[in-house]
Amino acid sequence: MRVAISGFNIKNASFGGIRIYNTRTSGYVIARNNICESNGVGIYNYYSKDNKIYNNVLYNNAMAGFHSDGGASITGLELRNNIAVNNGFFGGLSVSSGITATSDYNNVWNNSGGNYSQITPGTHDISVDPLFVEVSSSDFHISSSSPVINSGATFSEVPTDIVGVARPQGVAYDIGAYEYYDVSVSLTALSPDPTADTTPTFTGTSSTPHGSISSVSYSVDEGAWTSTGVTGTTSYSITLPSALAEGVHTIKVRATDSNGYTTDSTLFGTGSFTVDTSGPVGSISVNAGAIVTADRDVILTLSATDALSSVTHVMFSESATFVVASWEAYATSKAFTLSSSNGTKTVYAKYKDAAGNESEKYSATITLDTVKPAIKITDIGLIDNVPDKTPLYYYFTSQTPHIKGTTEANSTVHFTYEGTDTTVTAGADGKYEIDIPELPRQYVELEYYAVDPASNQGSTRLLKLMIGVENFPAELLPQEEATETPSGEVSPTPTTNGEPPTETIKVFGIQVADQDGTILAETAVYIDGQKYITDKNGKIYIEKKPTEEMTVEVEVNGKRIKGSVMGEKIVAEASIQAITKGGTITWFKVLLWVLVLGGAGYGAVKVARSIGKN
């Protein structure tokens, strides 16, 4: 005769969770697939022999996991496939003196009263943490990595576990009340990820080899497990009920079947995802930040970043509302064609990230200028009111023409002579002044043109000059100079085609001398910015009669002395300090007299020089 005690979950009994009293003369009692937790004694055997204690969980019982009293007459007790953990006083497996009990294939571990009391551990007994799923909630299922899996012995008396699952599920019986098997869960990766949805929806599937799935639960960011927002079981959907903050989050999903088996922690459906509700931050520039362009085809330099996801798309347009624009794959450089009309162009751009968030609008400006700059000369030295035409052809007295004119604002002005290119940049008002390097005293041709800030090059124009009074016709010179070669050495030089200059000028001769009447030869004189060099006779020839509005300077010892026109005289009076070799301070006082005569006369310039010590 056999009596079976099977499938009980007994907790908090004051003495024995299961108590076996047997005064029989034959047969035995088998206690199998029971859970005895936090009782006085998990299973108490009193004066009963030949009983079998198989595949039980004996946990946290105050006196002992298993204990038997009865003396030497009690024999044949078998303790197999049991888990005895955290039991007190007498320990995990215990019998009174004289009792014969056999222990094997048990896991006896961490019992405060000792693992064994008067029982010899079996050859196949182990002593390790059984890795229960969750003892705090009295869940004594074993996890997938438990050492008790496939560690038990096979007994025909225990064909199933506590909930009726057939043994074994693996290559051998598991120790304890539960036979381990997988409750599978899969979780489909969130798409898109990152997402702008703060309450995203997840989907997946679950299955069990025994029974059916009864529930699916989840945990977000290691929080409490919940089934709120879950629909379905074997094919489930989870919509998070509460909005998540921006950032990276985790989700774990598990299922529980009708036998109470829950997905092992190593088999949870898991996922990491990002909630991103902010758009990218970016910028745009046209032609690397250029201010102006002559070409409608430009290059947009695009830059955008996103704190939580990648930048995937860009849209750009000259329309602030992005009319007819469409999203394109993000790139840091894009070709773009400006609208055709000249003027300031504004190009707008906005960006989109992987979560679908759009940025604010960014913009950059550039001026489209396809018009070639015009250029004109207004003054050549003292010659003003220069006509706007090409070519220009003048007699000119100085070898270093000081030229003024107008062109497009901020354009670069070029004057070239025999391969030498002299440049200056016009001001914001379009006006320019340029000093041409020393030219030969002969017929010369200078080409000139302008290049604007957009790199448009204007038409090339021609300036012809017959330089040096020795090349002037007699009728153009003052009367005295007309009777002889002014330089005394050089005969007039004709143009290459024999044609004289076409523009009419008048020439005025000026002589420069010091206060003692000594002629100042090869001395620089500046009149309204035009430089003249006196010849060996101390004379200069200018193309305009001096007036009070002119600025006159004579260069003495490397210093320019300012002067002013007083009636028919130009007086330059100033003091210049110089240091001699011996440290003597020398002061120059210059008096410039100019007498201008037309036709039959010439100019006389007198420089008075006084020297004194300070």
Q: How confident is the model at residue 505 (pLDDT cuts 50, 70, 90)?
A: confident
Q: How far apart (Å, rounded) are the C-alpha atoms in residues 596 and 278?
A: 81
User: Is it the case that residue 307 has pLDDT exceeding 80?
Assistant: yes
For residues 378 and 406, the answer to whether their CB atoms sit within 8 Å is yes
On the 0-12 / 13-18 / 19+ scale of CB atoms within 10 A, 2 is exposed
Contacts 24+ apart (CB under 8 A), 486-494: 486/535, 486/539, 486/541, 487/535, 487/536, 488/536, 488/537, 490/441, 493/442, 493/443, 493/466, 493/468, 494/443
Tell me if the pTM is above 0.85.
no
User: Is it the case that residue 434 has pLDDT exceeding 90?
Assistant: yes
281-368: CATH number: 2.60.40.10
User: Is it the case that residue 610 has pLDDT exceeding 50?
Assistant: no
User: Is it the case that residue 596 has pLDDT exceeding 60?
Assistant: no
User: Is it the case that residue 589 has pLDDT exceeding 80?
Assistant: no
Mean pLDDT check: name the lowest of 31-45, 355-369, 521-535.
Answer: 521-535
Mean pLDDT of the region 525-549: 85
Tell me the domain boundaries of the chain.
Answer: 2-142, 184-275, 281-368, 375-470, 506-607
Strand pairing report for 57-59 and 35-37: parallel
Bridge partners of 316? 349
* Residue type at position 528: D
Fold match between domain 281-368 and domain 506-607: yes
User: Is it the case that residue 558 has pLDDT exceeding 50?
Assistant: yes
Q: How confident is the model at residue 26 (pLDDT cuts 50, 70, 90)?
A: low
For the ranges 19-33, 397-411, 504-518, the maximum mean pLDDT occurs at: 397-411
Q: How far apart (Å, rounded) are the C-alpha atoms in residues 306 and 279?
A: 7
Strand (E) or helix (H) holding 66: strand 64-69
Q: How confident is the model at residue 41 (pLDDT cuts 50, 70, 90)?
A: very high
> Greater confidence, 443 or 586?
443
How many CA within 13 A on the CB side of residue 103? Answer: 24
Would you state the pLDDT for residue 537? 79
User: Is it the case that residue 38 has pLDDT exceeding 70?
Assistant: yes
Q: Return the CATH fold of 184-275.
A: Immunoglobulin-like (2.60.40)
Among residues of the chain, what percentage have pLDDT more than 90?
Answer: 73
Would you state the pLDDT for residue 575? 37
**Model confidence pLDDT, tens digit, residues 63-92:** 999 999 988 889 999 999 999 999 999 999
Q: How confident is the model at residue 550 (pLDDT cuts 50, 70, 90)?
A: confident
On the 0-12 / 13-18 / 19+ scale of CB atoms within 10 A, 475 is exposed
Mean pLDDT computed over every residue of the chain: 87
Residue 177: CB partners within 8 Å, gap ≥ 6? 33, 34, 35, 55, 56, 57, 83, 140, 161, 162
Would you state the pLDDT for residue 371? 95
Question: Of the candidates 143, 216, 217, which has an alpha carbon nearest to the alpha carbon of residue 176?
Answer: 143
Question: Of the candidates 32, 31, 12, which has an alpha carbon nearest to the alpha carbon of residue 162?
Answer: 32
Would you state the pLDDT for residue 569? 52
Would you state the pLDDT for residue 516? 62
User: Is it the case that residue 27 has pLDDT exceeding 80?
Assistant: no
Mean pLDDT check: name the lowest of 23-32, 234-243, 526-535, 601-610.
Answer: 601-610
User: Is it the case that residue 101 has pLDDT exceeding 70?
Assistant: yes
User: Is it the case that residue 339 has pLDDT exceeding 70?
Assistant: yes
* Tokens 């304890």, located at residue: 176
Q: How confident is the model at residue 566 (pLDDT cuts 50, 70, 90)?
A: low
User: Is it the case that residue 587 has pLDDT exceeding 80?
Assistant: no
Ramachandran angles phi, psi of 148, nearest 5°: -85, -10
CA of 347: how far to CAs of 285, 321, 325, 361, 368, in Å? Answer: 9, 11, 12, 10, 12
User: Is it the case that residue 487 has pLDDT exceeding 50?
Assistant: no
Would you state the pLDDT for residue 599? 30
For the ranges 145-159, 467-481, 526-540, the maximum mean pLDDT occurs at: 145-159
Would you state the pLDDT for residue 588? 38
Strand pairing report for 552-556 and 524-527: antiparallel
Would you state the pLDDT for residue 592? 37
* Tokens 């010369």, located at residue: 444
> Greater confidence, 597 or 225?
225
Q: How confident is the model at residue 564 (pLDDT cuts 50, 70, 90)?
A: low
Q: How confident is the model at residue 573 (pLDDT cuts 50, 70, 90)?
A: low
Question: Of the candidates 552, 522, 516, 556, which has an alpha carbon nearest to the alpha carbon of residue 539?
Answer: 522
User: Is it the case that residue 542 has pLDDT exceeding 90?
Assistant: no
Strand (E) or helix (H) holding 484: none
Q: How far apart (Å, rounded) are the C-alpha atoms in residues 122 and 104?
A: 4
User: Is it the case that residue 166 has pLDDT exceeding 70?
Assistant: yes
Mean pLDDT of the region 340-352: 97
Q: Return the CATH fold of 375-470.
A: Immunoglobulin-like (2.60.40)
Mean pLDDT of the region 53-68: 98
**Model confidence pLDDT, tens digit, residues 437-466:** 999 999 999 999 999 999 999 999 999 999
Multiple choice CATH, 506-607, 3.90.930, 1.20.5, 2.60.40, 1.10.730 = 2.60.40
3-class DSSP state of 112: coil
Mean pLDDT check: name the lowest of 100-104, 123-127, 464-468, 473-477.
Answer: 473-477
Mean pLDDT check: name the lowest of 95-104, 281-290, 554-563.
Answer: 554-563
Measure CA of the first residue to CA of the last residue in the chain; give whole Å.
Answer: 145
Q: How far apart (Å, rounded) are the C-alpha atoms in residues 413 and 433?
A: 9
For residues 230 and 217, the answer to whether their CB atoms sit within 8 Å is yes
